[in-house]
């Protein structure tokens, strides 16, 4: 590394921000104490002998855009409908997908199941682990099921060797578990450091694009919720999926954060069982499991997760504060939004909420920021404040504005249809959305669903309480 000047650079481990000197706070992501010093190695990124990318070094020739051939059928099904949907319809050939999540959430299990399905369908798959021994992986695989002989396993962390194996084996799909354990000999810093992770990803990206191999990277998440070290990774890969879930609940949610081949607002719901992850096709039913009957402060809202309607329960607990300053807490809902909605309620309906503690919870550990849950929060708070239980077969959705008006939201029909499918008999929704549902003949509400269109918060109080 003796190259005249001592060359080191400081990186933010959270977002990859580069700086010539150490800083206490990162100007990029505002995190504290995230800077680490690493040697600068710029040799291998440009190819040369190191890194050895696609092996081809011809002069680049521009292509006529109109003549670029695209084949739609290049997508491989993962054998799991939930995952396919989040990916935008399956795995794109030559794509690089990052699967992030907390340790123990089930990333390795998910990808092992993908490998099993792909190899079972006759595709060649290579699973590369830098964390576990073949015996450990076999133990997990045994719980999942039988694997075909097209599924190969490699326990290795040296990226140069890995690249050689991928080039000689030419598998259709490769899993790297995890990117933070991989190291490149051309980079002198430790595995998991910003420059190692960046460099490894860039090598794998060029392998993926050059050979048409679909690559999955497992990335660990730090407590801040970003992939450890490099958020830079997110910019380099084609697709970023995050695997989330409550530590104590068995279901897991796979969320698309970035997708160059599809939409990002889809989620997939899975449940961790003894034999691996199982898809949850009927997510609404799952989310409403164990709902209290005839309890005040509980209401079901219809929210949209991508193209799919999902019913979730919102609970509120409002009680007189025993301290000077009332406590407020939101779990799963936006805290500022909750305060705003309570201020609207106080102003428009004259309720004395300022002297009340209030807790709002979206059950099931989901985090929903869609404004369509506003009406649910308002109704739950009202119900708890008045200690008045609602019809358990009531569903609600709608955005609440600052003047207490109930504003229309998108896809009203799908939401009503989902509520009806799960046996709800009444739906309270914005007046404009109710009109929209009525207008379309043959709409879902015709099966006996009672539609209540409301224009203001006062309307809601008049109709429900």
Q: Which does 105 bind (CB under 5 to 8 A by kind): ligand TYD, Mg ion, none?
A: ligand TYD
Q: Which does 106 bind (CB under 5 to 8 A by kind): ligand TYD, Mg ion, none?
A: ligand TYD
104 touching ligand TYD, by CB under 6 A? yes
Among 4, 60, 62, 103, binds ligand TYD (CB under 6 A): 103
Among 13, 14, 78, 108, binds Mg ion (CB under 5 A): 108
Q: For residues 51 and 219, which CB has a smaller minimum distance to Mg ion in the complex?
A: 219
Q: Which of 167, 169, 194 is nearest to 179 (CA)?
A: 194
Among 105, 197, 253, 380, binds ligand TYD (CB under 6 A): 105
Among 108, 186, 195, 383, binds ligand TYD (CB under 6 A): 108
Q: Which does 376 bind (CB under 5 to 8 A by kind): Mg ion, ligand TYD, none?
A: none
Return the range that interacts with ligand TYD (CB under 6 A); candidates 155-163, 252-260, 270-278, 301-309: 270-278
Q: For residues 107 and 255, which CB has a smaller minimum distance to ligand TYD in the complex?
A: 107
Among 85, 107, 116, 123, binds ligand TYD (CB under 6 A): 107
106 touching ligand TYD, by CB under 6 A? yes
Q: Which does 146 bind (CB under 5 to 8 A by kind): ligand TYD, Mg ion, none?
A: none
Q: Which does 104 bind (CB under 5 to 8 A by kind): ligand TYD, Mg ion, none?
A: ligand TYD
Among 274, 324, 350, 448, binds ligand TYD (CB under 6 A): 274
The Cα–Cα gap between 286 and 253 comes to 12
95 touching Mg ion, by CB under 5 A? no
Return the range that interacts with Mg ion (CB under 5 A); candidates 104-112, 118-126, 227-235, 350-358: 104-112
Q: Which does 143 bind (CB under 5 to 8 A by kind): ligand TYD, Mg ion, none?
A: ligand TYD
272 touching ligand TYD, by CB under 6 A? yes
Give the shortest CB-253-to-ligand TYD separation in angstroms. 14
Q: Which does 337 bind (CB under 5 to 8 A by kind): ligand TYD, Mg ion, none?
A: none
The Cα–Cα gap between 182 and 235 comes to 19
Residues in contact with Mg ion by CB under 5 A are: 108
Residues in contact with ligand TYD by CB under 6 A are: 101, 103-109, 140, 143, 272, 274-276
């Amino acid at each position: 590394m003796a190259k005249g000047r001592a060359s080191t650079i400081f990186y933010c481990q959270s977002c990859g921000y580069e700086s010539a000197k150490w800083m206490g706070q990162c100007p990029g992501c505002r995190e504290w104490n995230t800077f680490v010093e690493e040697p600068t190695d710029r040799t291998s990124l440009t190819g040369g002998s190191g890194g050895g990318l696609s092996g081809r070094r011809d002069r680049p020739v521009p292509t006529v855009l109109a003549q670029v051939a695209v084949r739609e059928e290049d997508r491989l099904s993962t054998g799991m409908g939930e995952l396919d949907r989040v990916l935008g319809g399956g795995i794109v050939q030559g794509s690089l997908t990052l699967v992030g999540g907390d340790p123990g959430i089930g990333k390795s299990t998910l990808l092992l199941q993908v490998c099993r399905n792909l190899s079972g369908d006759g595709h060649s798959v290579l699973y590369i682990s830098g964390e576990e021994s073949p015996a450990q992986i076999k133990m997990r695989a045994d719980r999942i099921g039988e694997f075909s002989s097209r599924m190969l396993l490699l326990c290795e962390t040296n990226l140069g060797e890995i690249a050689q194996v991928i080039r000689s084996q030419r598998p259709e799909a490769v899993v790297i578990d995890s990117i933070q354990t991989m190291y490149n000999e051309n980079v002198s810093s430790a595995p998991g450091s910003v420059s190692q992770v960046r460099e490894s990803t860039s090598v794998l990206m060029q392998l993926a694009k050059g050979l048409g191999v679909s690559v999955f990277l497992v990335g660990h998440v730090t407590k801040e919720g970003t992939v450890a070290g490099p958020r830079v990774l997110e910019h380099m890969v084609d697709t970023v999926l995050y695997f989330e879930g409550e530590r104590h609940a068995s279901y897991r949610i796979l969320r698309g954060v970035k997708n160059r081949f599809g939409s990002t607002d889809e989620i997939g719901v899975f449940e961790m069982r003894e034999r691996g992850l199982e898809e949850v096709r009927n997510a609404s039913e799952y989310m409403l499991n164990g709902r209290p009957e005839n309890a005040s402060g509980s209401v079901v809202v219809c929210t949209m997760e991508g193209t799919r309607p999902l019913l979730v329960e919102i609970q509120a607990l409002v009680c007189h504060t025993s301290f000077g300053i009332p406590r407020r807490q939101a779990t799963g809902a936006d805290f500022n939004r909750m305060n705003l909605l309570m201020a609207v309620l106080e102003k428009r309906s004259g309720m004395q909420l300022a002297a009340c503690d209030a807790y709002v919870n979206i059950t099931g550990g989901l985090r929903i920021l869609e404004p369509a849950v506003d009406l649910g929060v308002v109704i739950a708070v009202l119900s708890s404040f008045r200690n008045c239980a609602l019809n358990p077969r009531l569903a609600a959705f709608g955005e609440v504005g600052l003047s207490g008006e109930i504003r229309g939201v998108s896809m009203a029909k799908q939401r009503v249809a989902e509520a009806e499918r799960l046996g709800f008999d009444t739906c309270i929704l914005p007046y404009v959305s109710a009109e929209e549902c009525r207008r379309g003949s043959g709409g879902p509400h015709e099966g006996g669903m009672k539609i209540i269109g409301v224009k203001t918060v006062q309307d809601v109080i008049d109709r429900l309480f």
